[in-house]
Amino acid sequence: MATTYRLDRVTVRRGGRAVLDEVSLEIDEGTLLAIVGPNGAGKSTLLGVLAGDIEAEGTALLHDRAVSAWPAAELARERAVLLQKNAVSFAFTVDDVVAMGRAPWPAEPERDREAVDHAIARADIAHLRGRSAQALSGGEQARVALARVFAQQTPVILLDEPTAALDLRHQEDVLAHAADDARQGRTVVVVLHDLSLAAAYADRVALLDGGSLVAHGAPEQVLEAGRIAEVYGVAVDVIDGPDGRPLVVPRRRRG
């Protein structure tokens, strides 16, 4: 299995503080990696390094080539990025926003139309076609932004909290699509807060805390009750789900 990303002692400093601290990590193609950790752990910063949007110390390679050395146009054809915030500043229609995913590629009207139609169907937004993206709910806007990523049709997909604004059904849909893409050979990296959702779909989990990589491996190896309690500061039970994947259940205080 080929390696898509190699990170060696990657560090990002802001205001004299290391928000990522010597993170070393390999991500293979055909893998869905979930990046998890508490607020401020460095998850989005790590994704930004992978995307080539954030400069870092150390080594960050995409296909054995420094991420920073990729020309912007070439990088846009290699990886698609979904950011946390997806507000549309102008009155573009849903179709317009999704079609923006085709911008890195030479114009091929028939192929572009097929890519947009397929992406819209995958993101379950066909009923929103023709509407202004500004007039949609937060969850609908998030799915439109996701469809733009799908339409880009890149070998690498980077998603920053794609489920944050979504209802239960669409959370499951997004991760199921991500897992399908990984099975088809793409490299998919997803930042998530829901540990059970990460465990249900990810091939590998990277747990960050305070900018450091605490653990990296299969979900059942990383998501241990003691480790989660130490990192998140909350007691949990980790139980086997019906599919053999771990379920993380907080021990809730009542009264």
The pLDDT tens digits for 78-111 are: 999 999 876 666 789 999 999 999 999 999 999 9
Taking residues 61-90, what's their average pLDDT? 91
Could you read off the pLDDT of 221-244 as tens digits, one per residue?
999 999 999 999 999 999 998 888
Alpha-carbon Rg for the chain, nearest whole angstrom, is 18
Q: Which residues, 6 or more positions from 177, have their beta carbon under 8 angstroms from its beta carbon?
A: 122, 150
Sheet holding 57-62, edge to edge: 17-28, 3-14, 57-62, 65-66
- Rounded Cα distance between 179 and 187, Å, is 10
Q: What pLDDT score does 109 carry?
A: 96
Q: How long a stretch of residues is the chain?
A: 255
pLDDT digits (tens, 9 = 90+) for 165-186: 899 999 999 999 999 999 999 9
Task: Spell 34-46 as b/e; 16+ CB within 10 A means b.
Answer: bbbbeeebbbbbb
Parallel, antiparallel, or unpaired: how do β-strands 3-14 and 17-28 relate?
Answer: antiparallel
Question: What band does 63 get if pLDDT is binned at 50, 70 and 90?
Answer: very high
The pLDDT of 2-10, averaged and rounded, is 98
Residues 6+ apart with CB under 8 A from 207: 36, 37, 213, 214, 215, 216, 222, 223, 227, 231
Range 3-250 classified under CATH 3.40.50.800: no
Place of tokens 């997803």: 190
- HSE at residue 108, side-chain half, CA atoms within 13 A, is 8
pLDDT digits over 112-152, tens only? 999 999 999 999 999 999 999 989 999 999 999 999 999 99
CA distance 158 to 166: 17
Rounded CA-CA distance 31/185 in Å is 7
Interatomic CA distance for residues 190 and 159, integer angstroms: 5
Domain boundaries, the chain: 3-250
Token output for 45: 């910063």
